[in-house]
Amino acid sequence: MVLRLIERTGVLLVSLAVSSVLVFAFMAVLPGDPARVALGVNASDQAVAELRRQFGLDRPLTTQYVDWLGGLLHGDLGTSYVSKAEIGPQVFDRLQVTLWLVVAGMIIALLVAVPAGTVMAARHRKVSGLALSTVSQLGVAVPAFLAGILLIMVFAVKLGWLPANGWTPPAQDPAMFLKQLILPALALGLVQGAVLTRYVRSAVLDVLREDYLRTARAKGLRPFPALWRHGLRNAAVPVVTVLGLQLATLLIGAVVVERVFVIPGLGSLLLDGVSNRDLLLVQDVVMVLVIAVLLVNFLVDLLYVALDPRLRVGSR
């Protein structure tokens, strides 16, 4: 168990280091000159040279990388080349907004997928199971931003129950916060729920074929209580893997959904950074998203062990 923890931590640290090099190299080496990009092609050479000096872009790339990484480790993401504002506080504020969205989306996905997937597996040869399978197949085909547009059309335009877009911080007006969160969270959660449902179904079907479940049934337990008491924890291991991958998908999917619902999250910050040609901001936001994805994968790895004691014996 401890060995596995050390090994996974090592993998995480190496992955973080390599991805930071990749992100930095991609943004710093390939495009040529971030100062020129920030100021535009018509800027004078003098203005470009001044901006390069001001932000230390005239130093060797290795020094710039070490400085950037050092700042990153201390939570200092540098100063925007374009707005000259500190990037760290902006990223932190926007990340909170995106996390609300992602967590709410994930809760909805789980609330949809676990019951629906279990019923689909338990009734996989019956009409109700097949109907749910068809619905989930259709759900998988709908991208989150399309689901968002459809939800706006129904619940905001036609019925007028919920606001079509906007964002209010929870501390400012909790009721409005919830109202504005529902549609974007549903857009993210329903689509991910449809994907997750298929994995839950497959995992539960596997468990249903196991001897211990047959034994539980032979003891007189009815199908659903048997599944609840003996099956779900076993079915959870493969589902958690997918859940981890999906959390990463949700994080990135939020970028598009934020655009649909005009939510000031990390995705909007990233897109604004691109349109303003603010390369350091883009580099920082990309790195924060990559760190989030790697951290989620790391936590999923640890969660396996918590869920499946067989993995604690040392074999991978």
Partner 1 sequence: MRRLNPSLVAGAVIVGIIVVMALVSFVWTPYDATFVDPSIRLAKPSWEHWFGTDKFGRDVLSQIMVGSRTTLFVGVVAVGVAAVIGVPLGILSAMVRRWPSEFIMRANDLLLAFPALLLAIMFGAVFGASTLTAMIAIGIASVPSFARVIRSGALQVMRTEYVLAARAAGRQPWPIAVRHVLPNVTSLITVQASVSFAIAVLAEAALSFLGFGTPPPTPSWGRMLQESQEFLFSAPRLAIFPGVAIAIAVLGFNLLGDGLRDRFDPKLEDRR
88 vs 278 by CB, closer to partner 1 = 278
Burial 115-150 (b: 16+ CB within 10 A, else e): ebbbbbbbbbeeeebeebbeebeebbeeebbebbee
- Enumerate the H helices of the chain as residue ranges: 2-28, 34-39, 45-54, 61-73, 87-122, 127-140, 144-151, 174-208, 211-218, 223-226, 232-260, 266-275, 279-307
Nearest-approach distance from CB 143 to partner 1, in angstroms: 5
Contact with partner 1 (CB under 8 A) among 15, 83, 168, 241: 15
Q: Which is nearer to partner 1, 99 or 294 (CB)?
A: 294
Phi-psi map region of 84: left, alpha, beta (phi>0 left; psi -120 to 50 alpha)? left
- Among 255, 263, 266, 269, which residue sits at the site for partner 1 (rule: CB under 8 A)? 255
CA distance 130 to 134: 6
Strand partners, 86: 79
| Binding residue count for partner 1, defined by CB under 8 A | 51
Q: Is 236 in the site for partner 1 (CB under 8 A)?
A: no
Give whichever of 19 and 221 is closer to partner 1, judged by the CB atom: 19
- Rounded Cα distance, 32 and 17, in Å: 23
Of 1-9, 39-47, 82-90, 149-157, which part binds partner 1 (CB under 8 A)? 149-157
List the one residue out of 143, 142, 135, 244 whose CA is nearest residue 198.
135
Task: Tell me which residue of 79, 65, 23 sits closest to 278, measured CA to CA.
Answer: 79
Stretch that binds partner 1, among 42-50, 74-82, 143-151, 231-239 (CB under 8 A): 143-151
92 binds partner 1 (CB under 8 A): no
Taking the complex as a whole, how short is the minimal distance between the CB of residue 141 and partner 1, in angstroms? 4
If the CB atoms of residues 31 and 170 are measured against partner 1, the closer one turns out to be: 31
Q: Lay out the site mask for partner 1 across 288-307 (x = CB under 8 A, - = otherwise).
A: -xx--xx--x----------
273 binds partner 1 (CB under 8 A): yes
Selected from 274, 306, 310, 312, the binder of partner 1 by CB under 8 A is: 274
The piece of 49-57, 65-73, 76-84, 241-249 that touches partner 1 (CB under 8 A) is: 241-249
Q: Check the CA dihedral 29-31-34-36 and report its sign.
A: positive
Q: State the Cα–Cα distance between residues 122 and 129, nearest whole angstrom.
A: 8
Coil, strand or helix: which one is 289? helix
> Interface residues with partner 1 (CB under 8 A)?
11, 14-15, 18-19, 22-23, 26-27, 30-31, 133, 137-138, 140-143, 145-146, 149-150, 152-153, 157, 164, 202, 205-206, 245, 248-249, 252-253, 255-256, 259-260, 270-271, 273-274, 277, 279, 282, 286, 289-290, 293-294, 297
